[in-house]
Amino acid sequence: MRRRGAKFWLWTNTRLPLHSHDEVLGNGVQIEVQARVSHEGVTQVFVGIYGTDGWAICEEFHDRRIGEHYCMALKWGAQRAREIVADTQEFVAPHRVQLTLSTVITDESVLALRRMEMTERERLKIRSDDAWTEYQAAKAAMLVLMRSTKVDPTVWADHKERLRQAIDRRASVQRAYLR
């Protein structure tokens, strides 16, 4: 449920028909764009961005050109909303160590060998090899999906995220290993 701010209530006019576009981003942020034509013929756009809890992050409305089609106004509003979201999110470095990604080792002999005392260089070498193996597996899985004629969007997103994390992990481990 969205908790509207003051700008929304200033925008509201039940006498004018409107068209809307709703979107939920991957991080749960909700985008709402509404377009209408005023009595004077001016296309007006409302852009609302709401957090995962429903509270307004940003609300604004704009007067566009006279005679502009509502489809173009909705498209412009959605792009404006994405720009606002991008400006309000904190920067995440692409080379940051991915703590959520790690190779799962089930072989007891491999685990025992890894638990033995090793030098830091040997640990980094093993982490580098693991990162390379995970990258190769993620790349191969993505290539299989790319060759498929039909792919479920959630499967595509999962494989894309796996490949991104594998690349990030490989880069960060390599940077530490090559020092």
Q: Which amino acid is at 79?
A: Q
Band of pLDDT at residue 95, cut at 50, 70 and 90:
low
Name the average pLDDT for the chain. 80
What is the per-residue pLDDT across 150-163, written as a single tens digit (0 to 9) for each? 888 888 888 888 88
pTM: 0.49
